[in-house]
């Protein structure tokens, strides 16, 4: 049996996955906001299930996300056809119509999705005192029990997840989820202490440094940069693209483009350029003397800048949580410009 767990991108959503991870080890995690992103992730799950040799024992678990009726109808039909078990644990009242129609849609608006998930699995498996305390903290802030003794600590937990943007969830999905789990594991140790909310808030910087630390201490920003460059190096074949006979890498909302881009190119001399695309439709180009990215930016999106650092606006770009879809857009852009250039070259020869 393998569980494919799709959940929301906030404290309650990740806490549901933390509980699943506690009880089961054969789990793959996906995270989504509402709307089309849910469908994109569902399709990604189906693709992963089909690649699994034991796909007949697959279970799709959805938590802290309420679906529309059309999504329920589509998911239910597909799961029945493929004989995949699906169930949803949620607390959003807006899903009431779906819960009445589909028996796998379990809804309780009086508890957070985290508490629903814990109560569900603890009855099947076993209870755990430390985990139940964690659930109480999340529950207090998620359904806003401001008189609860756990409320103030819950607010710090809320910020802990909201500000955990150090690892890109589009490019490093698995790493990002386990980073959140690491933060939870450390934060749980503060539950029950006097002034726990203050103690945890003061400790967050050092907890994060512990995750990114390798051989020696440094600023958090430098540790994060080194970590990201290391992971990009490990996955560069997956993120690689080509332009004009030059090999490069494509990132998405990577942050600190100048530092990360330059560090990557220095540590990976077989790559000539670095492009980062942002949700704002901007493209940031970096090079290390092997290609003039100002010309590249000009040809691709009418941008420009310096030889080793340029930018531009890709107005037709459609943001997504799906990296292959994003990469396909950039590859199509490059291909369209190359075909346009070839067409002009042919026309010039004909005129001669």
| Res 57 pLDDT > 90 | no
**Do 147 and 281 reside in the same domain of the chain?**
no
| Res 39 pLDDT > 90 | yes
**Do 58 and 93 reside in the same domain of the chain?**
yes
Among 180, 212, 244, residue at a domain's last position? 212
Residue 218 lies in a domain: no
**Do 24 and 62 reside in the same domain of the chain?**
yes
Nearest to 324 by CA among 8, 35, 53, 41: 41
**What pLDDT is recorded for position 56?**
67
**For the stretch 140-177, what's the b/e string if a residue is b when 16 or more beta carbons lie within 10 angstroms of its beta carbon?**
bbbbeeeebebebbbbbbbebbeebebbbbbbbbeebb
Q: How many CB atoms lie within 10 A of CB 224?
A: 22
Q: Once rounded to an integer, what is the mean pLDDT over residues 309-318?
A: 96
3-class DSSP state of 277: strand
Contact 246, 273 (CB under 8 A): yes
3-class DSSP state of 24: coil
Residue 27 lies in a domain: yes
| Res 346 pLDDT > 50 | no
**What pLDDT is recorded for position 141?**
98
Rg of the chain taking only CA atoms, in angstroms: 23
**Do 171 and 277 reside in the same domain of the chain?**
no
**Do 203 and 275 reside in the same domain of the chain?**
no
3-class DSSP state of 105: strand
Residue 196 lies in a domain: yes
**Do 99 and 207 reside in the same domain of the chain?**
yes
**What pLDDT is recorded for position 256?**
85
Element (H, E) at 336: helix 323-351
Backbone angles phi, psi at 59, to 5 degrees: -125, 130
| Res 236 pLDDT > 70 | yes
**Do 343 and 208 reside in the same domain of the chain?**
no
Residue 166 lies in a domain: yes
Residues above pLDDT 90, as percent of the chain: 89
DSSP state of 94: G
What's the CATH number where 191 sits? 3.90.1640
Give the pLDDT band (50/70/90) at residue 352.
low
Q: Once rounded to an integer, what is the mean pLDDT over residues 17-26?
A: 97
E runs forming strands in the chain = 2-7, 27-31, 58-63, 85-90, 105-107, 240-243, 246-252, 273-277, 282-287, 304-305, 309-313
| Res 80 pLDDT > 70 | yes
Residue 220 lies in a domain: no
Nearest to 19 by CA among 186, 138, 161: 138
Task: Convert the pLDDT of each residue in 118-165 to its tens digit.
Answer: 999 999 999 999 999 999 999 999 999 999 999 999 999 999 999 999
3-class DSSP state of 20: helix
Nearest to 331 by CA among 275, 280, 265, 293: 275
Q: Once rounded to an integer, what is the mean pLDDT over residues 106-122?
A: 98
Q: Once rounded to an integer, what is the mean pLDDT over residues 35-40?
A: 91
**Do 111 and 30 reside in the same domain of the chain?**
yes
Q: What distance in Å separates the CA atoms of residue 44 and residue 100, rounded to the nearest whole number?
A: 27
Structural domain for 339, as ranges: 236-348
Q: What distance in Å separates the CA atoms of residue 211 and residue 79, rounded to the nearest whole number?
A: 38
Q: Once rounded to an integer, what is the mean pLDDT over residues 19-30?
A: 96
**Do 130 and 95 reside in the same domain of the chain?**
yes
Backbone angles phi, psi at 24, to 5 degrees: -135, 145
Q: What distance in Å separates the CA atoms of residue 176 and residue 186, rounded to the nearest whole number?
A: 16
Give the pLDDT band (50/70/90) at residue 215.
confident
**Do 41 and 181 reside in the same domain of the chain?**
yes
Give the pLDDT band (50/70/90) at residue 52.
confident
Q: What distance in Å separates the CA atoms of residue 58 and residue 26, rounded to the nearest whole number?
A: 10
Residue 210, Ramachandran bin (φ over 0: left; ψ between -120 and 50: alpha; else beta): alpha
Residue 217 lies in a domain: no
Reading the block at residue 141, the tokens are 């802030």
Query: Could you tell me the sign of the dihedral formed by the alpha carbons of 200, 201, 203, 209, in that order?
Result: positive
**What pLDDT is recorded for position 1?**
84
What's the CATH number where 341 sits? 3.10.310
Residue 229 lies in a domain: no
Give the pLDDT band (50/70/90) at residue 342.
low
Give the pLDDT band (50/70/90) at residue 35.
confident
Give the pLDDT band (50/70/90) at residue 338.
confident
**What pLDDT is recorded for position 224?**
93
Residue 222 lies in a domain: no
3-class DSSP state of 95: helix
**Do 253 and 304 reside in the same domain of the chain?**
yes
Q: Write down how long the chain is.
A: 352
Q: Once rounded to an integer, what is the mean pLDDT over residues 60-77?
A: 97
Q: What distance in Å separates the CA atoms of residue 110 and residue 112, rounded to the nearest whole number?
A: 7
Element (H, E) at 107: strand 105-107
Backbone angles phi, psi at 331, to 5 degrees: -65, -40
Among 163, 197, 212, residue at a domain's last position? 212
Q: How many CB atoms lie within 10 A of CB 246?
A: 15
**Do 23 and 80 reside in the same domain of the chain?**
yes
Count: domains in the chain: 2
């Amino acid at each position: 049996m393998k569980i494919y767990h799709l959940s929301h991108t906030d404290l309650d959503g990740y806490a549901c996955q933390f509980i699943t991870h506690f009880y089961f080890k054969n789990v793959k995690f996906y995270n989504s906001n509402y709307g089309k992103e849910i469908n994109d992730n569902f399709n990604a799950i189906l693709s992963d299930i089909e690649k699994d040799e034991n796909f007949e024992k697959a279970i799709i678990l959805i938590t802290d996300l309420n679906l529309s009726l059309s999504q329920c109808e589509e998911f239910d039909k597909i799961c029945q056809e493929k004989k995949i078990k699906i169930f949803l644990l949620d607390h959003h009242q807006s899903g009431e119509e779906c819960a009445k129609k589909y028996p796998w849609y379990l809804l309780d608006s009086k508890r957070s999705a985290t508490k629903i998930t814990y109560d569900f699995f603890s009855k099947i498996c076993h209870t755990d005192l430390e985990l139940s305390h964690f659930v109480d903290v999340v529950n207090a802030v998620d359904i806003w029990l401001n008189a609860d003794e756990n409320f103030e600590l819950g607010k710090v937990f809320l910020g802990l997840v909201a500000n955990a943007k150090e690892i890109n969830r589009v490019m490093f999905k698995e790493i990002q989820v386990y980073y959140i789990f690491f933060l939870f594991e450390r934060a749980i140790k503060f539950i029950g202490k006097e002034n726990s909310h203050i103690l945890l808030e003061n400790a967050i910087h050092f907890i994060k440094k512990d995750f990114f630390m390798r051989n020696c201490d440094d600023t958090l920003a430098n540790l994060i940069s080194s970590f990201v460059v290391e992971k990009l190096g490990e996955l560069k074949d997956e993120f690689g693209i080509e332009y004009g006979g030059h090999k490069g890498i494509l990132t998405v909302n990577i942050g600190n483009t100048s530092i990360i881009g330059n560090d990557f190119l220095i540590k990976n001399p077989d790559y000539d350029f670095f492009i980062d695309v942002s949700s704002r439709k901007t493209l940031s180009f970096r090079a290390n003397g092997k290609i003039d990215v100002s010309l590249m930016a000009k040809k691709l999106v009418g941008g420009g800048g310096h030889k080793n650092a340029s930018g531009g606006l890709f107005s037709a770009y459609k943001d997504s949580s799906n990296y292959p879809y994003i990469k396909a857009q950039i590859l199509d852009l490059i291909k369209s410009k190359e075909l346009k250039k070839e067409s002009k070259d042919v026309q010039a020869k004909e005129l001669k």
